[in-house]
Structure 1
């Protein structure tokens, strides 16, 4: 199909004539591609977006990909990595509406999203687009109250808070999902072979296409730190001295397992490559009995220790590996989404920077896509980064949390009263004051009313403040009128668990994961969260190829994230958020260590040295007192900056780079 951008009047006339011919006499695949594109363009423009020529070309490619899969011209697992706000989710509505409109009743689709509220919104959007309700199946396990108040797909309590465990629409496809031509299901509901078989059939045949909205994590990973495991075994043995033979047998199995793992750990530290390990065999009866022994219901440190024992028991059936990257740990993963699930399209704007998804060997961007990257310019968007503690632990520290809240209040005071503000905070269930409530209290003390309403240009009234927690960085776009968005810290994963996930996604239990690889992947995960959260704001909306003017404020002590964001957000302006409280700026320890490492490389360049171990390097340049994690991050930053030295995969020595002389 000829593309319309950049054509003169005569060429456009001929193209329009060809489009009309296709709509009347084209193949079913061509008709579906054209109808999907036309529906999608109208839908995007109805939300205030103005499409550029490149944007239209990209939407044509997406529509054509869907049509080719639906009519069996291509097969596999594909990724569509268009920027947030360019119409990926709306393309799903357009595709389904077009399949129905053209009468392709033997073609079916399964749509997978992460949140039940998103599925309910999708069901409403499909009905609004003309798809009959009886063709739409919805699967969830939430309760349904027809009298409840619903806003943006969320069921609300009388006080306006989200009513947990309730859905805006009833589940109608639990018993027989195969009768529905279009099935809406959450990511979690199709994990496992049994669920795949149950939901991927339409009237006895495999569904024509599956669309996975956002992150495609196809494996479930488990990790246990070896130091934590040793402590957990000692605690269990001490608390069961003189107990039953069964307890003694369990302790014996735990110690044998730990000795195997510790021996493997030392072997790797001595330079041996990682190998697959099988833990001592357990019968089903032994496993069940030991799981009961490892139960602990009180809320104290023992709860965590006993969980480590149960995790190890869960690993007994399949091979494991030990990794010395991160904190030394035993890792295992299993597939949660069958490899038989093909004809799959993953819609993931973060794909190009998110190592956790990119490492999956089953995913590919379509080779016939031309306009894939950086279609959207963020030249009118500014990221302000405050170099201060941005973890949940810091947010739970009252002194740090209130300091940050005060700084946010000072910024908000300078924001015009008629501009919307969205804030991302942490959530926790420890009996402490909620993070958002801490910030609200400081805002009120500074004379700012968090309950203020504003009137938008279209005359509608909206809350000036929208509050979100991490986990809501995808899905609802109810804050897309907000010109300002604050991320008060970013949710981080525990290092060993993330390492296990990374190995699992690679589909290779023995995949080499050194500390540098792990560190960079974890930064890319932070960048993914910041990108997705930031695009809940007005920056989501695109006009003539540009995101609407917005300000994003980030509290995070990780400078490397800026490179990832600049890579995915073309022309983004990044500035330092200078706090008015001089004590709020974290000392730039990382920068000083990086500079010290760079000075070390420069000194080595003046010597006849071409290889130096990390241990010798640290001793030579007085870096032994630097914490390991700080040194690793600074080392990675220095190696990225200095082209004269590198650290080969798996090596414990820096190597000089030899360059050919012209």
Structure 2
């Protein structure tokens, strides 16, 4: 881990000295290892270095909420000069944290969205991002990076533009309506060439945006921009049962001269999107070191946890989440839930209702806000009340954007789509669970943490957890609790009482337990020890089976 952090520092040093090759450099160390602390230390030392007085730094963060904590973090172990840092966002209060003239500050903190607004224009031509008239040499992108923006345009969203388009040109409206009807008659995974609306009617995107007016929803303005971008292009058509028909493509959004740049993304080792960038020669992986998760136990409930499942069964699922919280009412919890749904309801509110005012310390985050916060690192219990999935159209758009593969080039195979989906599943699992205490680093591992995940086995969550969290134990989460019957109940009751009085490391022979519960020893193995519920109950008691080299003979207490 120390060597990997040194690799990160060397990459930034090479940028500062002007010796870095024009590549994207990926540091994929797990959460909590120290990527951000290394960045803080580097920035503070760069600003203090007389030899690097003219070297500017550009730091791009994912969300506005991260900016304040990042600026504070840079100052935590040595205050930077007030004029050294500037903040460039859409929030005036955040911008006030730094120098009022960004071009005069050696360190500029901004957001991904600011860079994406460049729409492919060169960074060196954007005066707002320069330092002393030159491009900033040290560039750092925090969290997920994509070289282009995935475009998924649903036909229902296109239909929402028709009212505005009718005020501009009725024939244009009719042409787009005919396009929607044509697309909705195509089979899934078709290639389709979108008419060139701008060329046919001589109407550019700015005119469409002006016709919408200032109060038009941002999503509709974005849809218009995507539709005009797709005009004249060959796209992929995806048809989902719930999502209807979508046009799939991608568009350049970032400056083409972003490299050299350092990407800090803990999910870099599990997301296959980086594999495609590496295959294209865009990306170089820095040394990594995978954290151990032997102290993490994941309790997995084999049940659908997507948005639709919560929409249909929200009350049942929220009731079980509350029941699980109440199994350890003296310990703090973190629960990650879906955002409120128009029909399913407010899931945080439902869970709190089922807690019935119990005095428990439970914090909530919503999917979409489950990354890049350290506010919950002292919580040893975390529940993923549902999981985040995308449509096949979105996974395909993601694949095409990183592989630079247009619909006119080739289809995306089912196998490639499955790999992208698994990579994104592991990405969300890693980021979400690492909001809790599992994020912290103790040696090369994590603290004792219990995680509870709702996810159907058809998505291979067991495999995803094993790869994302090496060494973690996966146990079933049974919503009805562990049901024991007959001799199994008696055996666990007997062992539970023994655990209260027996010393750690002591052993009790199988025969002793069988006789104590009134059972013939020869039947004990088949009827009790091989019962799956018995094995789970033993695990919860911390009891293991031990014996000779050929067969087990006794229970050992921890």
Please, what TM-score do these two structures have when normalized by structure 1? 0.63
Cα distance in structure 2, aligned partners of 1:298 and 1:287: 15
Match of 1:224? 153
Is 2:69 the partner of 1:69?
no
Match of 1:86? 33
Match of 2:113? 188
2:318–2:347 Cα contact (<8 Å) kept: no
2:162–2:173 Cα contact (<8 Å) kept: no
Alpha carbons of structure 1 residues 535 and 288: separation in structure 2 relative to 1, 3 Å: closer
Alpha carbons of structure 1 residues 266 and 171: separation in structure 2 relative to 1, 3 Å: same
2:292–2:446 Cα contact (<8 Å) kept: yes
Correspondences of 1:372-411 after superposition (within 5 Å): 372-374=288-290, 376-397=291-312, 400-411=313-324
Cα distance in structure 2, aligned partners of 1:309 and 1:542: 43
How far off is 1:540 after superposition? 0.9
Cα distance in structure 1, aligned partners of 2:63 and 2:167: 46
> What CA deviation, in whole Å up to 9, does each residue of 1:122-161 have, x standing for no partner?
11122233221210011122253xxxxxxxxxxxxxxxxx
> What CA deviation, in whole Å up to 9, does each residue of 1:208-258 have, x standing for no partner?
1111110012322322356x589x49x969x99xx9994245313542686
Is 2:233 the partner of 1:334?
no
Match of 2:196? 279
Match of 2:68? 120
Is 2:8 the partner of 1:59?
no
Cα distance in structure 1, aligned partners of 2:442 and 2:207: 62
Cα distance in structure 2, aligned partners of 1:433 and 1:254: 34
Residue 68 of structure 2 aligns to a residue whose secondary structure is helix
Unaligned runs of 5+ in 2: 484-558
How large is the RMSD of aligned CA atoms in angstroms? 3.7
Cα distance in structure 2, aligned partners of 1:254 and 1:186: 37
How far off is 1:80 after superposition? 0.4
For these two proteins, the number of residue pairs brought into alignment is 467
How far off is 1:65 after superposition? 2.0
Match of 1:523? 422
Alpha carbons of structure 1 residues 415 and 331: separation in structure 2 relative to 1, 3 Å: same
Is 2:304 the partner of 1:354?
no
Alpha carbons of structure 1 residues 188 and 112: separation in structure 2 relative to 1, 3 Å: same
1:473–1:533 Cα contact (<8 Å) kept: yes
> What CA deviation, in whole Å up to 9, does each residue of 1:377-402 have, x standing for no partner?
100101111111211233234xx222
Cα distance in structure 2, aligned partners of 1:126 and 1:244: 52
Alpha carbons of structure 1 residues 275 and 71: separation in structure 2 relative to 1, 3 Å: farther
Match of 1:422? 334
Alpha carbons of structure 1 residues 90 and 362: separation in structure 2 relative to 1, 3 Å: farther
Alpha carbons of structure 1 residues 366 and 225: separation in structure 2 relative to 1, 3 Å: closer
Match of 2:451? 552
> What CA deviation, in whole Å up to 9, does each residue of 1:452-492 have, x standing for no partner?
xxxxxxxxxxxx32211112221110100000001100222
Task: Tell me which moved more, 96-105 or 533-542.
Answer: 96-105
Correspondences of 1:487-636 after superposition (within 5 Å): 487-509=384-406, 510-558=409-457, 559-580=459-480
Match of 1:23? none
Cα distance in structure 2, aligned partners of 1:381 and 1:495: 31
> What CA deviation, in whole Å up to 9, does each residue of 1:44-92 have, x standing for no partner?
xxxxxxxxxxx22222222222212221222211100111110111111
Alpha carbons of structure 1 residues 86 and 323: separation in structure 2 relative to 1, 3 Å: same
2:43 to 96, 103, 126: 96
Cα distance in structure 1, aligned partners of 2:282 and 2:474: 31
Unaligned runs of 5+ in 1: 1-54, 145-166, 451-463, 584-662
Correspondences of 1:42-53 after superposition (within 5 Å): none
How far off is 1:323 after superposition? 4.1
Match of 2:380? 483
> What CA deviation, in whole Å up to 9, does each residue of 1:181-213 have, x standing for no partner?
011101111211569424442111111111111
Alpha carbons of structure 1 residues 308 and 342: separation in structure 2 relative to 1, 3 Å: closer
How far off is 1:288 after superposition? 6.5
How far off is 1:171 after superposition? 5.4
1:109–1:181 Cα contact (<8 Å) kept: yes
Correspondences of 1:12-51 after superposition (within 5 Å): none
Cα distance in structure 2, aligned partners of 1:340 and 1:111: 15
Cα distance in structure 2, aligned partners of 1:373 and 1:578: 34
How far off is 1:577 after superposition? 1.0
1:225–1:496 Cα contact (<8 Å) kept: no
Cα distance in structure 1, aligned partners of 2:442 and 2:354: 36
Alpha carbons of structure 1 residues 256 and 64: separation in structure 2 relative to 1, 3 Å: closer
